[in-house]
Structure 1
Amino acid sequence: MRPSRLVSMLLLLQVKGRVTAQALAEEFDVSVRTVYRDIDQLSAAGVPVYADRGPGGGFALLDGYRARLTGITKAEAETLSIAGLAGAATDLGLSEQLRAAQLKLVTALPDASPDASRIGSRLHIDPVGWYRRPAQVPHLTLLAGAVWDQKRIAMQYQSLASPNPGDGEPERIRDPLGLVLKGGDWYLVARARTQLRVYKVANIMHLAVLDETFERPAGFDLRAEWAGSVAAFEKSLLKNVARLRLSQEGMLRLSRLGAAAAEQAQSAPPDDDGWQEVTLPVEQFDYAAEQLLGFAGHVEVLDPPELRARLRRLAQHIATLNAG
């Protein structure tokens, strides 16, 4: 018998009012017989739960029975229900804990009712970008446990710089400090001796949690560390400067070069044809040319000549492949 299931069942009855045995069995992934045993346990513990027989019947709590939490409003509890994404909690192996916490928040309210959790039924957050599928992260739950318990890990990581892409890098020992979900992908912020590093969890090929624990850095702020890492990464990519001539449609596509580049863009007033000169940082010329190809006939590279030539060669190569 799981005490946590009994508590969650009690809270669910408090929120929904009356629930059938079949609905409870489906909610907690147990048999109907187990539900009846759980109800008997609640009754034996003094919880005033009763059964209504016949069509539309089910289990319900005696009117007026309620556990309450002081100092929190209904709006505050509903807002807390979206503080952690349900999908993220599932990835981390915490979906049951999240569900129980949300039930406790809602049922603790003085005016809790069957629609008290309306935010969850009216707002859904999908962090995965369009035309993508969630990345497979087989090591995430194990990694999350290491983060919570402050256990060192040994991992083999597949990076772009690996000399043998199929083999990954040699096994490294790391202190896992935090996990970040960005754009549908999970990232690990870890300490390598005295330096902090960021790893894409989907690229971890092998992971082992060691018995050795570690002390977290004093004053470590995951949110601030992540923001700094993102800013530094974007800045490291934008090593060149380009001067472009863009149509109005091209100006609308400027964000395709990345938010960091678009934010630093310096634009001249439109000319008589409505085109504008724009100076902005870009990535390596090979990649920048591929990005600009998506602008179709809405971009002209004015400078540097090397980028202009690469864009021209790329367009000619595509035209040749599709000729005839």
Structure 2
Amino acid sequence: MRASRLISILNILQARGRATAPELAAECGVTLRTVYRDIDAMSEAGIPVYSERGSAGGYRLLDGYRIQLNGLSAREAEALFMTGLTGAATDLGLGAVMVGAQNKLLSAMPAELRKGAVQMRRRFHLDAPAWFAQADQPVYLPQVADAVWTQQAIYIRYESWNGLKERIVEPLGVVMKSGAWYMVAQGENTPRTYKISRIHALSSLDQHFTRPADFDLAAYWDASTLRLQHDLHENIATIRLSPTGIRMREIFLSAYIFSEMKLSPEPDEDGWYLATIPVGKSWHACIDLLRFGEDVEVLEPPELREKMREMITKMSRIYNA
């Protein structure tokens, strides 16, 4: 455990340049006394770590000192090549950069770790898009990514639900969700989410911005996704599913609806299962549920059942004409 902790401290100091004892203790989950002992042990081992006093002080490594990758465990080395994000990097215009970085990382690894890392890259792959959905490749994705990195404001002509809008925004981050790319950007000091494939025109402005120090992209995305899911599925429907419908529910329902579904433990006398699911407006709910064909029956609410009956009747007239 101590050897692993010493390597962690080395990595922290190498990555950040400087860290205080309380910061190292928090990162490693140990007491300040333990950190002081670890620093002393590193110095005795010949590692050039020294302390700086003052409000901006802390521990740091001698300038130019670099540790090698021989501190990695075999599992850690393999995990580095399990990202599977080469496709995403290519979309961002960084495909060649990622390949070059991986090759450099492989060459720096000890020989005994190289084999496992290569096998991990060959045997595991991340396919981000959902089933029956194709990943989009927005025209302006590389420009958006560059603006995020350089903290440069951009002008966009964007297709919203209310038509084309023109905006000047400050890009804070890029997110890929189920194969689709989104930009999180602030305008008038309020972060908003934009689907990058809906950007019809983009130009970079000679205007740089300061990124909010307290903005956390992952936290923003999680909170906004949860809020959107609740807003889009404000109602509850009671349905019956046949045995075939039960087997197909994970494919036909969105991940959110599937995760929130409440299913009866036992079937009724016909072998069908009772379930409650979150739904949105009647028209959207019908589109989702009609995928099940004859293997679903809507019981409640009455307006959703009536909308299903209305749509099925119209479909019947079309095919019986």
TM-score using structure 1 length: 0.71
Given the alignment of the two structures, is residue 189 of structure 1 paired with residue 190 of structure 2, yes or no? no
Given the alignment of the two structures, is residue 295 of structure 1 paired with residue 309 of structure 2, yes or no? no
Q: Does the 8 Å contact 1:78/1:106 carry over to 2?
A: no
| Selected match of 1:266 from 231, 252, 262 | 262
Given the alignment of the two structures, is residue 78 of structure 1 paired with residue 78 of structure 2, yes or no? yes
How far has the Cα of 1:76 moved from its partner?
2.3
Name the SS of the counterpart of 2:111 in structure 1: coil
How far has the Cα of 1:109 moved from its partner?
1.6
**Which residue is equivalent to 1:158?**
159
Aligned residues: 252
Given the alignment of the two structures, is residue 121 of structure 1 paired with residue 148 of structure 2, yes or no? no
| Selected match of 1:282 from 279, 283, 290 | 279
Q: Which runs of 5+ in 2 are unaligned?
A: 1-66
Letter of the structure 2 residue corresponding to residue 188 of structure 1: M
**Which residue is equivalent to 1:89?**
89
Residues 265 and 75 of structure 1: CA distance in aligned 2, closer, same or farther (over 3 Å): closer
Q: Does the 8 Å contact 1:137/1:202 carry over to 2?
A: yes
Name the SS of the counterpart of 1:117 in structure 2: helix
How far has the Cα of 1:161 moved from its partner?
2.2
For the residues of structure 2 that align with 1:267 and 1:75, how far apart are their CA atoms? 39
Name the SS of the counterpart of 1:241 in structure 2: strand
1:222-256: CA deviation from partner (whole Å, max 9, x where unpaired): 11211111111111101222221222222334443
How far has the Cα of 1:145 moved from its partner?
0.7
Letter of the structure 2 residue corresponding to residue 267 of structure 1: L
Residues 252 and 113 of structure 1: CA distance in aligned 2, closer, same or farther (over 3 Å): closer
Letter of the structure 2 residue corresponding to residue 263 of structure 1: S
For the residues of structure 2 that align with 1:225 and 1:145, how far apart are their CA atoms? 20
How far has the Cα of 1:112 moved from its partner?
5.8
How far has the Cα of 1:279 moved from its partner?
2.5
RMSD: 2.2
Letter of the structure 1 residue corresponding to residue 102 of structure 2: Q
**Which residue is equivalent to 2:40?**
none
How far has the Cα of 1:286 moved from its partner?
0.9
Q: Does the 8 Å contact 1:69/1:109 carry over to 2?
A: yes
For the residues of structure 1 that align with 2:261 and 2:110, how far apart are their CA atoms? 53
**Which residue is equivalent to 2:301?**
304
Name the SS of the counterpart of 1:155 in structure 2: strand
Residues 266 and 122 of structure 1: CA distance in aligned 2, closer, same or farther (over 3 Å): closer
Name the SS of the counterpart of 1:217 in structure 2: coil
Name the SS of the counterpart of 1:102 in structure 2: helix
Name the SS of the counterpart of 2:275 in structure 1: strand
Q: Does the 8 Å contact 1:77/1:106 carry over to 2?
A: no
Given the alignment of the two structures, is residue 139 of structure 1 paired with residue 135 of structure 2, yes or no? no
How far has the Cα of 1:113 moved from its partner?
8.4
Letter of the structure 1 residue corresponding to residue 226 of structure 2: A
Residues 143 and 84 of structure 1: CA distance in aligned 2, closer, same or farther (over 3 Å): farther
| Range moving further from structure 2, 183-192 or 75-84 | 75-84
Q: Does the 8 Å contact 1:250/1:298 carry over to 2?
A: yes
Letter of the structure 2 residue corresponding to residue 258 of structure 1: S
Letter of the structure 1 residue corresponding to residue 225 of structure 2: V
How far has the Cα of 1:182 moved from its partner?
1.3
Name the SS of the counterpart of 2:139 in structure 1: coil
For the residues of structure 1 that align with 2:215 and 2:97, how far apart are their CA atoms? 26
Name the SS of the counterpart of 1:295 in structure 2: helix
The structure with more helix, counted as a fraction of residues? 2
For the residues of structure 1 that align with 2:229 and 2:149, how far apart are their CA atoms? 29
Q: Does the 8 Å contact 1:189/1:198 carry over to 2?
A: yes
Q: Does the 8 Å contact 2:106/2:114 carry over to 1?
A: no
Residues 132 and 254 of structure 1: CA distance in aligned 2, closer, same or farther (over 3 Å): closer
| Range moving further from structure 2, 72-81 or 224-233 | 72-81
**Which residue is equivalent to 1:63?**
none
Q: Does the 8 Å contact 1:257/1:282 carry over to 2?
A: no
For the residues of structure 1 that align with 2:320 and 2:180, how far apart are their CA atoms? 39
**Which residue is equivalent to 1:209?**
204
For the residues of structure 2 that align with 1:282 and 1:113, how far apart are their CA atoms? 50
1:176-195: CA deviation from partner (whole Å, max 9, x where unpaired): 01111111111111112221
TM-score using structure 2 length: 0.72
- The percent of aligned pairs where both chains have the same amino acid is 39
For the residues of structure 1 that align with 2:84 and 2:203, how far apart are their CA atoms? 27
| Range moving further from structure 2, 189-198 or 269-278 | 269-278
For the residues of structure 2 that align with 1:224 and 1:179, how far apart are their CA atoms? 13
**Which residue is equivalent to 1:109?**
109
Residues 311 and 144 of structure 1: CA distance in aligned 2, closer, same or farther (over 3 Å): same
